[in-house]
Structure 1
Amino acid sequence: MGEDDVLYKYRGIKEFRYFVDIVLNKRFYAAPYFDLNDPMEGHYLYNSGELDSDVRDLIKSQKEKLRICSLSKVADNELMWSHYAEGHRGVAIGVTVNESKHAVVPVDYDGPLQIERVGIHNATAQEILSHKLKVWSYEEEVRVFIRNKQYVDVKVEEVLLGRSMSKQDIGFIKKLIASVDESIEVKGASSKYD
């Protein structure tokens, strides 16, 4: 990833206070891995007898110290709009992340990571949490990992308005953005199917 790559967070606006928090405070919430929506999150593979309970406990402890902000490389993914932005009634917030302050890692969709005792090191938890099942590949996810805080600082570059958003919500969002930071571009979402 590059410093200038714009990444996207799809959000509904039913919980409008979260959108306002993102825009006003230029930050995204980072969740512990066990709060994410994939039930296989944080799972890994190992050969029977190769990792004793102390090593497994160490890995679990490492994973629990990390927090994750999930973003997408793409702004025009219909499934993402449907699943995370209230069926195009929400927004996709385009941001840049300072990679010198945060670990920004593209997700590999090759299933749970296979680890060996000889390969255990401090980055193991982050590596485990950077692998997902292929079924999730449509998300084109990039993860921002942090420790010891709940929010990832971002620069909001643009706000894409869902194609099914009400005129009232569009007007309110445009007015809000203009009063907070005029450099943030506000525009309608496009579709690769238009």
Structure 2
Amino acid sequence: MNELLYKYRSLDNFKNFVDIILKNRLYAARYKDLNDPMEGQYYYRHGELNHSVREKIRNEKGELRICSLSKVRNNELMWSHYANGQTGVAIGVRISDPNYTTENVLYNGITYVRDQDYNDQTARQILCHKLDVWAYEEEKRIFTMNEQYVKISVHEIITGRRMNTRDISLITELIEKINPNIEIIRADDIM
């Protein structure tokens, strides 16, 4: 996978930021820990999805972990919502393990499931459907089965427009020591 994807981060938990850079990995959360309260929901009509299939879907969703990334690095709303109002960073990464696949999120609402629709990908498909109010995220997801982290390679760090110069200097110095190949970019230069 050569596509550059972005993880928007606040620096409030600096330890997590350093972990990403130092260990080349991103956290994969359980769907119930994500910020969309409708995450993992689906529709079915009484009689069209039997109890055992619903249980399989519930168990499969529970085993999956999700790493959420964005296709864009210059989205004002993403900067505001996930990078602490432009005081954080957007981390440009590539997925380094060929066993991972990225899935586009579809913003066409909650999916509808029937017995005949069920297969081994149904839980992932449910978790790739969101309401259109989330479309600004231009999200891609990486799914793992009970793995807490996704292996990545960091290629760029974009510092927010409102990040103070002290934090920019600290990040620059840190990156130069850990991996000088990572490009540091000011958000002002790309937006």
In structure 1, C-alpha distance between the alignment counterparts of 2:101 and 2:48, rounded to whole Å: 29
Partner of 1:46: 44
Where in structure 2 are there 5+ consecutive unaligned residues?
none
2:20 to 22, 27, 32: 22
**Matched-pair contact (CA < 8 Å) for 2:97–2:151:** no
TM-score computed with the length of structure 2 as normaliser: 0.97
More moved, 31-40 vs 91-100 = 91-100
Where in structure 1 are there 5+ consecutive unaligned residues?
none
1:6 to 4, 7, 11: 4
- Which amino acid in the other structure matches residue 180 of structure 2? E
Q: How does 1:82-93 map to 2 (within 5 A)?
A: 82-93=80-91
Q: How does 1:94-109 map to 2 (within 5 A)?
A: 94-98=92-96, 100-109=98-107
User: Share of identical aligned residues, percent?
Assistant: 49
**Cα offset for 1:191?**
7.1
1:71 to 63, 69, 72: 69
**Matched-pair contact (CA < 8 Å) for 2:49–2:113:** no
Partner of 2:34: 36
Indicate the SS of the match to 2:156.
Answer: strand
Aligned residues: 191
Q: How does 1:26-175 map to 2 (within 5 A)?
A: 26-98=24-96, 100-175=98-173
In structure 1, C-alpha distance between the alignment counterparts of 2:175 and 2:33, rounded to whole Å: 30
**Cα offset for 1:47?**
2.0
- Which amino acid in the other structure matches residue 20 of structure 2? I
Indicate the SS of the match to 2:38.
Answer: coil
**Cα offset for 1:14?**
1.1
TM-score computed with the length of structure 1 as normaliser: 0.95
More moved, 49-58 vs 156-165 = 49-58
**Matched-pair contact (CA < 8 Å) for 1:68–1:144:** yes
